[in-house]
Amino acid sequence: WVSAWGRVGTDHSTEARTLSVASGWLGGYPWYAGRGDFSNGGFQNDDMTRSATNADVLFRAAPTSTSGMSFAFSGGAGLRSDNLDVTLLGSDKLSNASVPAAIAWKAGSSTTYLFGGVEALMRDMASLTVGARQESASPSGGSSTSTLYPAVVATIDLTRLDSASKRGSLESFILHGGWSRSGNDATSSALQRFGLFAATGSFPVGSVSVPELTTGWEAGASLSMMHHRLTADVTAYNERSENLVFPSGTGFLNTGSLANKGIELALTLVPVRTPEGAEWTIGANVSKNSNTVESLGGGLTSVALATPYAGVSVEARAGQSLGALVGLGYLRDASGALLLRNGLPQADSAAGAKVLAESAPSWIGGITTAYHGHGIELSVLVDAHHGGKLFSATNRAGNVSGTFAETAYRPDSGLLITGVDATTKAANATHVTTEAYNHALAPIVERWLYDASFVKLREVRLSYILPLQFVSALRAQTVRASFIARNLMTMSNVPNIDPETVLSTSPVRGLEMGQLPATRTLGVQLTLVP
């Protein structure tokens, strides 16, 4: 009833990137010393070394109990460390005469921790787990911190309060809940989310003095009935994060708070189950999360999460969800009609950049269905993303340059844009060329925002299990032949791109900066179990 084990592992990688820009390049290029000219060529060499080490020991004791109560005790200690070493050297000219000074940047952290807890189980009916973790972190260039992270989780199966004869078709009805405080090592968070070499100079990680803290609770219920032909689970949660790490100039802010709350639902139904073993299953899940930046600290009301691109900035703004899309909108009159000059739309430069949309979705979900029987296995997965907006640089570039099909509409009379003349206040009567119209749209970020919703046929998998007489001839237990197709179809309101690739959890969520076409995968698989 006593066990112990230890683990240790290291992940180490080195990477060298060599970038050459030919003479005659147009449009500049973003690099470590700013946005260079590069019309006479140039180069940039990046050398990066990363390493991460984790080690821990754990002891667990679960004494045998003859009563209705049983206990288990656990404890241990561990160490984790990570380091990043970056050297950047380059020039925006072929000649090395004016090469800016190289940036040599190092950062890392080391964290030690002690943890322990106790688990109590009462007659397989209720359980309670209480634990705590004490972490001491030492970021490079910063002061050490020590933080306690407690947690408590409890479950109770209400069906076990009654006798089996009173349960009917209900196999289980479990209530579960918990409260916890967790932390995010500040230096590791910065390394992963912001890259740390996106601006001139080095980043003083020592300014990230305390870890991010998240305190929250969750509660829910799950049930199973009709011989497990129907199962359902619902969980609600509410959490608040503080000491958030945001990039700011050549350093970081280590302040501010963010609130998240939401609900997750899952349902599984088995409408067909035969004595021969055939079964058809349908599963569905949906989740909705709402987050709000409560404050940023330091008297700030907004922080850019990445370098602005094509006039759009992804920001954290107090009172908005994380990842607000900020830029110039259309110039409009009081009624909302477009104000045109010489027949062309205008950006509302006087009002300046404003929040045009939020990148966060309203909800996400999916449906899966599967059948297996008579040697055949078939499964289909569909998932969906609803709500949120994205900015598409692909559509902006394609329309402004005239390479997309929608720019081919060129009536002899020119285009007549619906709106009001900014000078006369009369209905617009000036025709314009398609080229002039699309060029006028280039600085208007609002034009290039799209609904990020999509429905995707994620995967179809068809398998056939060979009959036993064939399997025995191959001296195998099982032989399965499968056809697998992924990313078969995407339905969305965004032309020319796959919106899913924009919807990551990185700080630049909602910003599409040019992408390769989505890939459809078709394949066959032969699985043999000897």
In terms of Cα–Cα distance, which of 233, 262, 123 is closest to 175? 233
| Confidence at residue 200, expressed as pLDDT on a 0 to 100 scale | 40
| Confidence at residue 167, expressed as pLDDT on a 0 to 100 scale | 65
Q: How many CA atoms lie within 13 A of 331 on its CB side?
A: 18
Following CA atoms 300, 304, 305, 310 in sequence, which dihedral angle do they give, to the nearest 10 degrees? Answer: 170
54: CB partners within 8 A, 6+ apart: 7, 8, 9, 10, 78, 79, 80
Q: Retrieve residue 413's tokens.
A: 């009379």
| Confidence at residue 400, expressed as pLDDT on a 0 to 100 scale | 94
| Confidence at residue 197, expressed as pLDDT on a 0 to 100 scale | 43
What whole-number distance in Å separates Cα of residue 211 and Cα of residue 144?
A: 10
| Distance from the first to the final alpha carbon of the chain | 35
What whole-number distance in Å separates Cα of residue 236 and Cα of residue 288?
A: 10
Pairing label, strands 42-61, 34-36: unpaired
Q: Beta strands of 318-425 (E only): which ranges?
A: 324-327, 339-341, 344-345, 354-358, 363-373, 376-386, 389-392, 415-416, 420-421
pTM confidence score:
0.82
In terms of Cα–Cα distance, which of 19, 12, 61 is closest to 42? 19
Tokens 């060599």, residue located: 18
Whole-number CA gyration radius for the chain: 29
In terms of Cα–Cα distance, which of 227, 132, 232, 113 is closest to 174? 232
What whole-number distance in Å separates Cα of residue 14 and Cα of residue 50?
A: 6
166: CB partners within 8 A, 6+ apart: none
In terms of Cα–Cα distance, which of 282, 490, 488 is closest to 384? 490
Tokens 């209720």, residue located: 126
What whole-number distance in Å separates Cα of residue 156 and Cα of residue 298?
A: 45
What whole-number distance in Å separates Cα of residue 419 and Cα of residue 429?
A: 9
| Confidence at residue 188, expressed as pLDDT on a 0 to 100 scale | 56
In terms of Cα–Cα distance, which of 154, 80, 91, 141 is closest to 115? 80
Tokens 């002039």, residue located: 436
Q: How many CA atoms lie within 13 A of 437 on its CB side?
A: 20
Q: Retrieve residue 168's tokens.
A: 């009917």
What whole-number distance in Å separates Cα of residue 285 and Cα of residue 382?
A: 11
Residue 126: C-alpha distances to residues 60, 117, 122, 168 (Å): 20, 17, 5, 20
Contact between 327 and 345 under an 8 Å Cβ cutoff? The reply is no
Beta bridge partners of 46: 17, 88
336: CB partners within 8 A, 6+ apart: none
| Confidence at residue 427, expressed as pLDDT on a 0 to 100 scale | 95
| Confidence at residue 87, expressed as pLDDT on a 0 to 100 scale | 86
Per-residue pLDDT 10s for the chain (530 aa) are: 999 999 999 999 999 999 888 888 776 666 767 677 788 888 888 898 989 999 999 999 999 887 888 999 999 999 998 888 888 888 887 666 567 777 777 777 888 999 999 999 998 899 999 999 999 987 766 677 889 999 999 999 998 887 655 666 788 899 999 999 998 776 655 555 555 444 444 455 556 677 889 999 999 999 999 888 999 999 999 999 998 877 666 567 778 899 999 999 999 999 999 998 899 999 999 999 999 999 988 778 888 887 788 899 999 899 999 889 999 999 999 999 999 999 999 999 999 999 999 998 999 999 999 999 988 999 999 999 999 999 999 999 999 999 999 898 888 889 999 999 999 999 999 999 999 999 999 999 999 999 999 999 999 999 998 776 666 666 667 788 899 999 999 999 999 999 987 765 555 678 888 878 788 999 999 888 77
Contact between 157 and 126 under an 8 Å Cβ cutoff? The reply is yes
